[in-house]
Amino acid sequence: MKVLVTGSAGFIGYHLVERLLSRGHEVIGIDNLNAYYDPGLKLGRLQAAGVSASSTGHGRFQAVGRPYTFLTGDITNPDDLRSVFEFTPFDCVCHLAAQAGVRFSLEQPLAYIQANVAGTAQLLEFLRHAGTRHFLFASSSSVYGLNEKMPFSVHDHTDHPVSIYAASKKASELVVHSYSHLFGIPSTGLRFFTAYGPWGRPDMALFLFTRAILGDQPIEVFNNGKMRRDFTFVDDIVTSVVGLIDRPPQPNPNWDARNPDPASSSAPYRIHNIGNSKPTDLLDYIRAIENSIGKRAVLKMRPAQPGDVTATWADTSELEKEIGFRPSTSIDIGVAKFVQWFREYYSV
């Protein structure tokens, strides 16, 4: 297949590109290489994929010896998307480009609306004329918001987000559903639960904690450590996404407009949780990092931050029914792989 991956220099994007290439697909990638976190890490991912790119200016780059074309560009810019859609027809589009991070959304809320909502709509405007067989897009466990019914089910309503990041992801789900309904675009929403692993983002807990412990610095533990997350290893996330690529949704023949199911539709639209289905206490997660490094952390307990939820837990039964796979990599194994990558990449 020919697959478009937006956000292809991002954490999950890089791993997805690698998996797609290993399966013999042709990949077109786009990323704006912004400075939300160190662009050098994004360039490092690209280099690992065989692409020598620059974070300044626009360009088109071909991976050495691999069917991977990478373009620097912004999905909110129509001119940049025109360059991407020169490569149509795409068999599949995996839309991972987004402004990430719950806490930064408190400081720059409009950046999230622009990137995550307007950017998705801009992409769909091009997509509806392109005849793509399947559109998959990244959402987030954050959309469950104030819901405390555990585990989170795709059949639950998600009407009470507690951060602008979560609201922007929920809004993007609604925009995609509208396009799916109006133009018949088969669309699959992917609610990722706390992704972690090698090449992970520097603003996430695993990266921050590992760097601090190795540097003999204290780590900040919010809500006094009373938090649980459904940490999901990136390889399991990618396996789930690749499994779903070959399963474009059909309209649900049993969908009842008088009792609407949030997970499906009379349109070719589905939502899936992509999580480990096994929430871990934050302090246990820290212990796994300590064990992998061989050094104890100095903990600075802090109150909860605005926009954070205390727990996440994915019900992945619909994913299992669809592709016969459930993410299950243990924290000990996943964290050890990240720490090994971190030490090799940063020579520490």
Helix/strand/coil for 109: helix
Rounded CA gap, 108 and 120, in Å?
A: 18
* Burial per residue of 255-283, b for 16 or more beta-carbon CB atoms within 10 angstroms, e otherwise: eeeeeeeebbbebbbbbbbbbbbbbbebe
Rounded CA gap, 326 and 278, in Å?
A: 11
The one-letter code for the residue type at 219 is: I
Catalytic residue among 36, 37, 165, 285: 165
Q: Is 165 a catalytic residue?
A: yes
Rounded CA gap, 288 and 205, in Å?
A: 13
Residue 246 CB neighbours (<10 A): 11
The residues annotated with a catalytic role in the active site are 165
